[in-house]
Every structure is written in structure tokens, then in C-alpha cells.
Amino acid sequence: MSKIALFGFGRIGRTALRIALRDNLFTPVAIADIKDESTLAALFEVDTNYGRWHEPVSGTEGHLKIGDRDIPYFNSAKEIPDWGALGVDLVLDCTGRATVRSVAQAHIDRGAKRVLISAASKTLDDCDAVLLKGINLETFDPEKHKIISMASCTTNALAPVVKIIKDNFGLKAGLFSTVHAYTNTQSLTDQPMKDRRDSWAAAENVIPSSSGAAKALKFIWPDLQITGKAYRVPVRTGSIAELNLLTEKNPSVDEVNEAFRKAAAEGPLKDVMDVLEGEWASNRIVADSHSSIIDLPLTAKQGDLLSVAAWYDNEWGYATRLAEVAAHLASK
């Protein structure tokens, strides 16, 4: 069986492990982080967004025990574990810091065969490939692709929409806005931050922010004409992106929605993308495993302009793809 190590045990790392264990995708041969075992075990056992884990969880020096699984734990504050000695096939880096090649390469230098990054690389030179399930995962080359980026949760939500519109109706240009749950990069109280707008309390403000999703989409489709921005809002998880698109053909709303229905039911986007026929609010999609959930009643058309809305659980949906892709890549 392939050996996967988990590096970084924060929001995404813990959520990815919940999914990996629940779906029998993998049990990591090691977990590494900079915090103490007892605290990390407690945070895994009881999650504010997703509830309590169904098995006993404990942390002792050098170990995290989840049910009957005894997983070796390494404090990586000073150095990356010796992945070679552990026989690691793939490191799932969930620190959010391996966005430049030198940081990701450190895992390879310590003996890992490849690395999957839970973030968008700064540039295409900082990774060997940007691979998204349902979009281009089939292009994975085990010989060439050692450092793989899976981009961001927003990129994974937008990419299915872009693919379906491009393939069915052609896409001239697009502008998106994502209404995104607040995250750890923001502050709980008002205080000076590097980004001025982030200086105000995350749970009390709607905060405009930048989005790297447009750049990541262009890593996949170099000729794509798209840009966008984000609004961070006071919800713990659950986000929605609206794409306003100029298409080459002139489809009706019904034709667009039927294309989404078909893609959700069959083909490479099945289980990656879903559709909603009814009228819902954000809690409907919390803990939904799909990367992109099209709100069909919100699809709209005005002249040449098409508007599409896609929900996504920015933690659970993204972490589901990470766990699945990690298991897939490690087996190759």
C-alpha cells in the first residue's frame, strides 16, 4: 500500500484526515506539525464546523491515536522528518507555505517521492504541474510531476464552471466575485495587518480581498481571459462564487443549466460538481464533498452576459479533493 505523510495539521490537514479515514482512502504513516500532540488530538476529535469524531482520539509524545490507529507524530518546528527513512511515497503539505519551489523541494530532499500542495503555487516554475480532479488530473506524469499544486478551494469551485462553459458554449472573458468564509489569515479583533482591509475583525465585517484563483485558472488554461476578487464574510465555512461570463455562442439559461446537470451526472466531473435545483442558503452546502455546487435558479442571462453561481464548502469540499488526489497520486 502507498505511504502518505501529512505535513501541517491545521484546518485543511485535519479535515483531509477525517475524510481519508472515513472513506478508507489512506491512513498516514506520519503526521508532522509544530504544535503539541495533546492539543492537536483534541482539535481533531472536536471540530467546531464538523462536530465530534466517532472514535476515541488521544495524543502522547510522538503519537496521535485515532481509534485503533497509532500514527507517528513528528514536531517539525526545527526540521522536516526523514521521509526517506519512513518510505514516504507522497507528502500532503497542508501548511499553505509550500507555494514556492524551494519549500516544496525540501520534502523531496528529505526522501519523499512527490509532494501535493494544498495551495496555489506562486508561479508555474514553482511546481511541476497544477492538477485538479475532473479537470486535468489525467495528465499526471509520474516521471515528470514530483511537485504538484492543487490550487485553492476557489479555483476548484470555478474550474468546473469554466470547463463546462468553454466546452459547450465557448468563453471570451469572465469576471468573478467570491463571497468567502473568513479564515485563519484574518484577525479576530481590529488590529493592523499587512493587508489594510484585513485589519478589521473578521467576524464583524464584510472585507474585500484579493483572489489568486484567476492566476491559477490561467495555469490550466493559459489563454483564459478572467479576473476576480473576494469578499470575506462572517461565516465559519461555506462560500459562493459568482461568475459573469461573455460566451462565444448565445445559449439560453435552460441550455446552460442542462449542460451543468449533464456534467454533474456523468463524465469526469461526476462527484466533483453538483447542482442545486431548489432555493437554499449557505448552510445547505456545509460538509458537502463536491468542489463546486451550481445554484441553478441563480443562473441568469442579460444580452451577451451570462451569470453563474457556484457554492462550495471551502474546507470540506476542498479537503475531499485533496484526500482523493493524494491517494490517487501516491498509487502511481
Is the torsion defined by CA of 4, 8, 14, 16 positive or negative? negative
Q: Is 33 annotated as a binding residue?
A: yes
What residue has cell string 481519508?
A: 20
How buried is 223 (Cβ within 10 angstroms: 0-12 exposed, 13-18 middle, 19+ buried)? exposed
Residue 12 labelled as part of a binding site: yes
| Whether residue 127 lies in the annotated active site | no
Give the contacts of 124 (CB within 8 A, at least 6 positions apart). Answer: 130, 219
Q: Which cell numbers hold the place of 205? A: 465585517
Place of cell 480532479: 133
Q: Is 197 annotated as a binding residue?
A: no
Tell me which residue of 318, 289, 157, 180 sits closest to 237, measured CA to CA.
180
Per the structure block, which three cell numbers stand in for 183? Answer: 479564515
Q: What's the CA gap between 1 and 24, in Å, rounded?
A: 12
284 CB neighbour count, 10 Å cutoff: 14
* Distance (Å, whole) CA 96 – CA 8: 8
Task: Output the CA torsion 35→38→44→46 (10° steps).
Answer: -130
Q: Dihedrals φ, ψ of 257, to 5°?
A: -65, -35
Alpha helices in 223-297 (DSSP H): 253-265
Which is the catalytic residue, given 129, 153, 327, 330? 153
- Residue written as cell 510531476? 145
- C-alpha 142: how far from its chain's center? 22
Q: Which residues are catalytic?
A: 153
Residue ranges at the known binding site for NAD(+)? 11-12, 33, 118, 314
Residue ranges at the known binding site? 11-12, 33, 118, 314
